[in-house]
Amino acid sequence: MSIKFEKVSYTYFPGSPLEKKGLDNVSFKIKEGQFIAIIGHTGSGKSTLMQHFNALLKPSKGRIEIAGQTILPTTSNKNLKELRKHVSLVFQFPEAQLFENTVLDDIAFGPKNFGYSEQKAKEKAWTWLTRVGLPKSVANRSPFDLSGGQMRQVAIAGVMAYEPDILCLDEPAAGLDPRARKQMMGLFSKYQQEGHTVILVTHNMDDVANYANDVLVMESGKLIKHARPAEVFKDRSWLKEHYIEEPKASLFASKLTNFTFSNTPLTIKELVKGIENNLKE
Amino acid sequence: MSKILIGRYVPGNSLVYKMDPRGKLLVTILFIFIIFLANNWVTYAIITIFSFLAVAATKLKAKVFWDGVKPLIWLILFTSVLQLFFTTGGQIYWNWIIFTISSYGITNAIYIFIRFTLIILISTVMTVTTMPLEIADAMEWILTPLKYVKVPIDKIALVMSIALRFVPTLFDETLKIMNAQRSRGADFNNGGLIKRAKAITPLLVPLFINSLETAVDLSTAMESRGYRDGANRTRYRILKWSKYDLYELAYFIILVLLLLVFRTK
Ligand SMILES: Nc1ncnc2c1ncn2[C@@H]1O[C@H](COP(=O)(O)OP(=O)(O)OP(=O)(O)O)[C@@H](O)[C@H]1O
Ligand SMILES: [Mg+2]
């Protein structure tokens, strides 16, 4: 199955003086089961695009096919639960969505809503509590007593606990320390390898290089590039023109003027390999 | 930065936007009184023309004003119909138990309809062309005399501006949390009363916590910048009278004079 956008446009406050185009004629097709990155600078429409994946926003024009369902401008707001069970969204700073008395109850909220029994929901909650890297001892504490980073983990566990086929994340690692970031990205990567689709909005090009196999580049509501990371980061002048950073490895490689690389290295691994090859010669 | 409309402010830059909020607020309030000077067809025609010219001067789409009148249209019609059936006097056209349609009733109903509609239109002119914070400043200015009877106008004004400032923030926050919980399968639209009341907990708890955090942050920020209660303070938005306010005043005085001249004594 694949996710398909056909000429999707979205306008905020249509017909009012505050009218604003959020998406402008966006079309693409992505295969499920991949790790997809959405990049683009502030205000380019990434979050707007994200909210279309589970119909929190519906296109003003165009059509979307996702998880076997079709979303049209006329799609009714009722009966979207089935879609949302399969396609779930983690917003920026998701720690703001916690509300239950205990961490475990909060994680079990989603599964219960989507029809898991009390028992099964609790089970799932335990599983994901540990999978996101929280100690078992926090299970019965109030989520509001935790640190910011831990609250984030609880919130993410709360979405992953019902194991959506398509997991969309809006800058989930923003503001985390490098270790927590790496741990979290590892979690998403593993989730994808287990057969799910992960869609990640990010400003971190190293994450794109390390984990993504498909990249959507947004600019002022338009999709300006849809390609594999190697393709996206290949053209240095294009990147400059669109104010997109390079991954650290490729930046490093570009400073090594005496070395030649057959392919621009995107990850540290590739960089090391490239340097080794150069030294051998 | 928030993009949500607070109040009903609509951005624009026509003549009316350049007027001082104090003047606009004062004239709007006075308008509600002077409309009672109209008591015959000529005066009603005059005040209607003046009001529509004010509406036109905003250079906004008619829809903006229709949106202002629409929510109250039933109330206006209801009041007019009451007038129509319960006023007696003049020529009687129709009578049934306690209901009468008379010539007085008909004119009264029409007068009431015009009066109501014009008051809404004029207040809409003010609210769509003046930012809520400016309206708050203008209210503070109008209430200033109450200082002398020991009403804490400064504090009231501060509370008012803070509240206004945080309405859009709260709105954004509500929307965000609602969307987040919807993604987790929460349903705010379906089910009976109890189910819906229950569904609102996941929305209210985070909202309260966020608001409290914002409030604490705000008070810390204010204190760390030396805010003290009761100190005389300068203003960031300084309101200044301009020639546009003179136009407004002249317009208003001409209206009052015309009404005084043409009304039935
Ligand atoms: N609720 C809203 N109301 C009106 N306009 C909005 C709203 N949300 C976003 N926009 C506008 O739509 C455009 C795209 O915004 P969006 O939030 O999708 O950007 P983004 O790529 O996610 O940015 P960031 O990297 O800062 O998160 C922006 O110009 C923004 O001003
Ligand atoms: Mg965003």
Which CATH number goes with the domain that contains A74? Answer: 3.40.50.300
The protein residue with its alpha carbon nearest to ligand 1, atom 30, reads: A43
More confident residue, B98 or A178: A178
Q: For residue B262, how many other CB atoms are within 10 A of its CB?
A: 17
The response to whether residue A45 sits with its C-beta less than 6 Å from ligand 1 reads: yes
pLDDT above 50 for B5: no
Quick one: pLDDT band at residue B187, thresholds 50, 70, 90?
confident
What pLDDT, on a 0 to 100 scale, did the predictor assign at position A89? 94
Number of structural domains (chain A) is: 1
Q: Which residues of chain A have pLDDT under 50?
A: none
> Comparing A267-281, B8-22, B189-203, which segment has the lowest mean pLDDT?
B189-203
The better pLDDT of the pair B90, B73 is held by B73
pLDDT at B3 over 70: no
Distance from C-alpha of A54 to C-alpha of B156, rounded to nearest angstrom? 44
- Most distant pair of Cα atoms in chain B: their distance: 74
Ligand 1 neighbour A172 (Cβ under 6 A): no
Predicted model pTM: 0.79
B172 touches chain A (CB under 8 A): no
Q: Which residue has the tokens 């079990």?
A: A108
Domain range for A26: 2-246
Could you tell me if residue A254 is inside a domain?
no
pLDDT value for B7: 64
Give the DSSP H/E element, type plus range, for residue B67. helix B62-69
Closest ligand to A26 CA?
1
Quick one: pLDDT at residue B67? 84
Q: How far is the CA of B178 from the centre of ligand 2 (A)?
A: 17
Question: Given a cut of 70, is residue B19 above it in pLDDT?
Answer: yes
In short, whether A264's Cβ falls inside 6 Å of ligand 1 is no
Backbone φ/ψ region at A78: left (φ over 0), alpha (ψ -120 to 50), beta: beta
Locate A93 and state its tokens: 């700073």
> Do residue B184 and residue A110 have CB atoms under 8 angstroms apart?
yes
In the reported structure, the alpha carbon of residue A63 is separated from the centroid of ligand 1 by a whole-number distance in angstroms of: 20
pLDDT at A263: 82
Q: Which residue owns the Cα nearest ligand 1 atom 28?
A: A43
> Considering only alpha carbons, which residue of chain A is nearest residue B210?
A96
Say which residue, B130 or B94, is predicted with more confidence: B130
A238 close to ligand 1 (CB < 6 Angstrom): no
pLDDT at residue B74, rounded to an integer: 92
Cα of A47 from ligand 2 centre, angstroms: 4
The CA distances from residue A106 to A129, A162, A168, B177, in Å, are 11, 12, 19, 14
> Which of A90, A91, A144 lies nearest to residue B209, judging by beta carbons?
A144
Name the residue ranges covered by the structural domains of chain B.
15-131+245-262, 152-224
Report, as an integer, the average pLDDT of B20-42. Answer: 93
Q: What is the Å distance from ligand 2's center to B43 Cα?
A: 56
Binning pLDDT at 50, 70 and 90, where does residue B226 land? confident
Q: Beta strands A69-71 and A61-66: pairing type?
A: antiparallel
Supply the ipTM of this predicted assembly.
0.88
| Ligand 1 close to Cβ of residue A12 (< 6 A) | yes
Average predicted confidence (pLDDT) for chain B: 87
Of ligand 1's atoms, which has the minimum distance to the CA of residue A18? 4
Q: Which residue has the higher pLDDT, B192 or A182?
A: A182
Q: What angle do CA B191, B195, B201 make, to 5 degrees?
A: 130
The pLDDT value recorded for residue A161 is 95
Spatial CA neighbour of A111 closest among A161, A69, A155: A161
**pLDDT per residue over B232-249, tens digit each?**
777 787 888 999 999 999
Whether the CB-CB separation of B34 and B258 falls below 8 Å is answered with no
Mutate one of A56, A97, A105, A128 to test the B interface: name it (highest B CB count within 10 A): A97
pLDDT attached to residue A86: 93
